[in-house]
Every structure is written in C-alpha cells, then in structure tokens.
Structure 1
Amino acid sequence: MDLTEYVPVVPDFPEPGVGFRDITPLLAAPEAFGESVDRLQEACSAHPYDTIAAFDARGFLWAAPLADRTRTPLVPIRKAGKLPRAAAVETYRGEYADVRVELHADAIRPGDRVLLVDDVIATGESMAAGVRLVEGLGGTVAACAALLEIAALSGRDRLDGYPVVSLLGKL
C-alpha cells in the first residue's frame, strides 16, 4: 500500500506559498491508518524505548495506538497551559509563530529511553524542543519519529546526532 496517496498536498494553506501535507485522508481510511501504525511500530523497533512522548495534538494520533500495542507508557508534550501539574517548559520557533510546550516534570525518569512521536517533521524545531525537554528531565532520546518529513525545511538537520524515523520519508 502506498501511504503517500493518502497524504495530499494542499497548496497555499495556511498561507500563500505553503504546501500543507493533509493527513486527514489517511486518518479517514482505517486500512491505511492501521498500516501506518504497523509500519511505524516496525521502524521504531530498531530503537529500544521505555516511554513514548507525543506532541500535541497530531502526534497523539500515532503515539496512542503505538503505546497500546507495545504496552509502553505514553506522556504528552502539550502546548502551554494544558498540563495540570508541575511541568518542564521549552519554547521554540514554529513555522508561523513562537510556540511554548510543556511536559510533566515527573513524566520522564532519569535513564528513561524516550521515543518522540509527531505527525510531521517540518523545521525540526518542535522535535528539538522535545529533545531538550526529555534530556532536561534526565531521559535519553531513543529516536525522533514521524509519519513524514518535509524535505525542503531540512528539519532533520536540527536533530543531528539523534536517530530519525520518517515513515514516508522526505516529501
């Protein structure tokens, strides 16, 4: 199954000149979505992990079934103000604005091997912020995983030294 067929490019969204990768057709096709989770699980098995940390909100879509299938703890990396307890905080430059993300301060224990999961690696800034959160709490990043990468934005370059799993490769 060619999963790229389920992720069309929407031109000029959310602003002129941007080619947005729309994952909603993949989510709407149960066979394709299930296949994407299967493939992500297989690709990530090369990078042993104890915990999955997923980015708000679309990273949750792949991380939750992956955590369920592997019986691995899942911890959310949320946008600012969404977590109820003490949290570690990072700010990064997003594609369109500065973004502040948080991870519960007790979510990662020293020595935990953490798989970071998001839907897309674009500029790599959000994933790099996740790396800083995990390492700041004493964890180790096992890999940075996403459904796809946007090659033109060179996000992988910001993750130098960390394994990157891009299920659909660079689009």
Structure 2
Amino acid sequence: MVARKSLKQDYCPSARALDVIGDWWSLLIVRDAFDGLTRFGEFQKSLGIAKNILTERLRRLTESGILQAVPASEGGARMEYQLTAKGKDLFPVIVALRQFGELHLFSPEEEHSMLLERATGQPIRLEVCTQDGQPIGPDETVILKVQEPE
C-alpha cells in the first residue's frame, strides 16, 4: 500500500483541511456526531464500518481536535466522542455536501433526509457570500496563491 502524502504544510487551506477530514468515513463520522451520535457502537451501527477503520478514524479526528473523547455520562470505562468547537466549525461543510447531494443526486420525487431548523421546522440553506453579505459564485472569485520558495 502506498503511503498517503501529508498535506499539513501545503499552502492551500483546502489541502490542509483535507489532510484532516478528507476521507468519506471521517466526514460521515462528523455527520453522525452532528446527528447526536457519541458512542463507538452507535457510529459502527450507523455506518456499517469495520471496527479497525472506525478506531483509526476516531483516533485521527480526536488527535486533530475535531472530536474529544470524554468519559461516558453513566461512568465506567466507556468513552463518548463529542464535537469540539473546531469540529462544530465543519457544520457548513456538511451542509454544503447535503445541498450538493439534494440538488444533483436525487430525482425530484425521490425521498431523502432533510436538515431543518429546530425552532421553526424550516429547511436550511447555505449560501456563499462576500464579507458584506452579497451572494457570490465561483466566476466572481479568484484565489491569491502563495509563491512557493524555489
């Protein structure tokens, strides 16, 4: 198996983020954590993931500060995994993936889960905006790249 290249020192913020959260299992674990799952067994049952893979992903997410392991509320040796403030900052990422899936991966009549505002029951919509709140798309943006040393 080829070793995965680390992107921890990359100049691109997207690359560094993917170094931490860039595989589907990690994103699905974070999604489930937003849905209230906290226990190893809950994640395993929800995802159908092998124990060794789940163990590794939870370890990486914990080491990177996305999740924290805390003693289970009923005591004992069991641990629960909770999103940290850093982990909660992934909420727009999960919402953006949902919106992409809703728009492109379901037929109009096909049922799917929905993300709703708890207080009103209204659907959630994520929009990319400029600093002054104006909607903006990819054609109106440019990336200012860092010049790598030679």
Structure with bigger helix share is 2
Structure with bigger strand share is 1
State if a TM-score over 0.5 links the two structures. no
**Structure index of larger Rg:** 2
> Normalising TM by the smaller chain, what interval?
under 0.3
Which of the pair has the greater relative contact order for Cα pairs under 8 Å at 6+ separation? 1
